[in-house]
Amino acid sequence: MKTMSKNLIGFFFVMPAGVIFSLALFEVIKRFLLINPINIVFISGIIFYFLLRYLVKWIGYDFVDVGEVLVHELVHGFFSLLFLGDVKSLSVYPKKGGQVSVSRSNFLVELSPYCFPIIAIVVSGIKPFFIKSAGIYIVFITGFFLGQHLAALFKDFHLGQSDILNNGIVFSFSVVLFLNVFFVGIMMVILGDGYSAVPLFLNEAFEISKKCIYLILHFDYAGNWSKLHELIGKLFSIL
């Protein structure tokens, strides 16, 4: 019942927020990629991580996998500490994954490794405080660690994960979508235009949300009831 409630909250509230911020992020990406000259550096950082990861695994080493698992478990522990919990133990095993034991947990603690590109967020956040000539290196490093987060996300976010099953598939997907889009948008705004542009990104998301709400409120539900009823039935069947 608890999982069902989370899935409903995710579908009706968190997922729409994720879609709205995705639209806002699309506008940010267009400006960042088409106008800002550092876009190539940022993308190069992401691509470089994926190439390095593939090369290391092809050679036969597993330290990249171990590093991704370590970051995954450390993020679990970090968010438990944020909620005033304790990290009792942390283990990482080559080819076997990892495990962390914490004294306090909730959905954010359990889903945090999939939602928060922590290292990339921290690196992007310090860019405005460095001299301009150092900015290009910070952009590359941010892209590199965002690549690490994305690679781990693609590998680890699946239905066999207890973190996802415990919180409901729909709810987990909705939260992961929303928080990834939100923080990637914030990072790109800071890298491109600094902290002063963050409110503009949030305002853009707010304006898009108003348009979406208007469309929802003025939708001809009576005229399209059969299709809507069929859609809702299919959606409920996967909860």
Tens of pLDDT, residues 191-211: 888 888 888 878 877 777 777
Give CA 137 to chain center in angstroms. 23
Task: Flag whether pLDDT at 189 surpasses 80.
Answer: yes
DSSP 8-state symbol, 103: S
pLDDT grade, residue 88 (50/70/90)? confident
Nearest Cα residue to 71 out of 159, 156, 158: 156
Contact assessment for residue 102 and residue 95, using Cβ atoms and an 8 Å cutoff: no
Q: Which amino acid is at 237?
A: S
Across 149-154, average pLDDT: 94
pTM of the shown model: 0.82
Averaged pLDDT of the chain: 80
Task: Flag whether pLDDT at 226 surpasses 80.
Answer: no
| pLDDT (0 to 100) of residue 102 | 86
Q: Which amino acid is at 55?
A: L
Q: How far apart are CA 153 and CA 72, in angstroms?
A: 10
| pLDDT (0 to 100) of residue 172 | 84
Across 64-77, average pLDDT: 89
Contacts of 18 (CB under 8 A, 6+ apart): 174, 177, 178, 181
Q: How far apart are CA 85 and CA 110, in angstroms?
A: 13
Query: Counting every residue, how long is the chain?
Result: 239
Going from N- to C-terminal start, the domains of the chain cover 2-237
